[in-house]
Chains A and B, each alone.
Chain A
Amino acid sequence: MISTDRLDSAFLALADPTRRAILTRLAKGEATVMELAKPFAMSQPAISQHLKVLEDAGLVAQRTEGTRRPRRLATAGIDAMDRWLEMLRSALERNYDRLDQVLANMESAPRKKGGKR
């Protein structure tokens, strides 16, 4: 079960364009703070701050490799596939329930020209 708090912090974390760009970069593979800071013209502390928000939201994880601490997308935290599929499903279900109604209306009010078929 996904907790609402977790979802809230994930959405909050994703609301920032720099953080979305960081995720886009990490989707291509893990990277260190230094590597992440480079394309953003931001200081490393600023990037670290963004990473902390992403880590707190469970979207990014880090591992230790000697003195390096590369970050990667946290698949367990994101579960973006599951959430996306769930969002898609609920949006489609809502859409198709409405479509049922649209189709029923079409049936009862056929096109003016050429009759029902």
Chain B
Amino acid sequence: MSKLKLETQGDRYVVVTRQFAATPEALYRAHTDPKLIQQWMLGPDGWTMPVCICDARPGGKMRFEWASSGQAGFFLTGEFIELTPYRRIVHVERMHLPDPTPDNHVETTFEANGSGTLMTMRMTLPNAATRAAMLATGMEGGMEASFARLETLI
């Protein structure tokens, strides 16, 4: 039932693929238009993105801020490196937890195929300390919920 594929590549990369019933253009817009990003890039239930700055051009800055009632918020900053409209986005990003994590280099591509678009996202794996900090910050509510769901499935 899961359309998402997530696999690690070597010890540095994680590659995510996901099929969508939409055009590459629509997907590209949903990844670059702040108004659209704010509707879906929210992570676990209960989080919102009150601030979304996304200047989608080479050198343009991004800043996403997440908030949740009862938990400390966190934010992400980044810069666009290369954009090929409707096909490819290359950017670098870091989480602020509140200390910045090492830069995560992300390449996202949208490839039209028979039934829609295949999205592929290739990103750098965070180091052990960064993973620990990410697990500790912000998302624990959602994560516990997802583990609880997992346990009910097994």
A-side interface residues toward B, CB under 8 Å? 1-2, 4, 7, 10-11, 14-15, 20, 23-24, 27, 59, 73, 78, 80-81, 83-96, 98-104, 106-107, 117
B contact residues vs A (CB 8 Å cutoff): 2-4, 6, 8, 14, 16, 18, 20-23, 25-27, 29-30, 36, 39-45, 125-129, 131-136, 139-140, 142-144, 146-148, 151, 154
Q: Chain A interface mostly helix, strand, loop or mixed?
A: helix
Rounded to whole Å, the gap between the CB of B47 and the closest CB of chain A is: 9
Can you offer 26 A-B residue contacts whose CB atoms are under 8 A?
A2-B147, A10-B135, A14-B133, A14-B135, A20-B132, A27-B129, A78-B128, A81-B128, A81-B131, A85-B6, A87-B146, A88-B14, A89-B4, A89-B6, A90-B146, A92-B6, A93-B2, A94-B42, A94-B44, A96-B3, A96-B40, A102-B39, A103-B22, A103-B27, A104-B22, A106-B22
Complex CA distance for A92 and B41, rounded to whole angstroms: 8
Instruction: Give, as a whole number of angstroms, the nearest-CB distance from B25 to chain A.
Output: 7
Q: Are A94 and B45 in contact (CB under 8 A)?
A: yes
In whole angstroms, what is the CA distance A88 to B3 when docked? 15
Q: Which residues of B sit under 8 angstroms from A73, Cβ to Cβ?
A: 128
Which residues of the other chain, B, contact A87 by a CB distance below 8 angstroms? 134-135, 139, 142-143, 146
A84 near B41 with CB under 8 A, answer no
Task: Report whether B36 and A11 are in contact in the complex, using a CB–CB cutoff of 8 Å.
Answer: no
**Once the chains bind, are B6 and A100 in contact (CB under 8 Å)?**
no
- Residues of chain A with a CB closer than 8 A to B27's CB: 103
- Say yes or no: A99 contacts B44, CB within 8 Å: no
Q: For residue A91, which residues in chain B have a CB less than 8 angstroms away from its CB?
A: 43-44, 139, 142
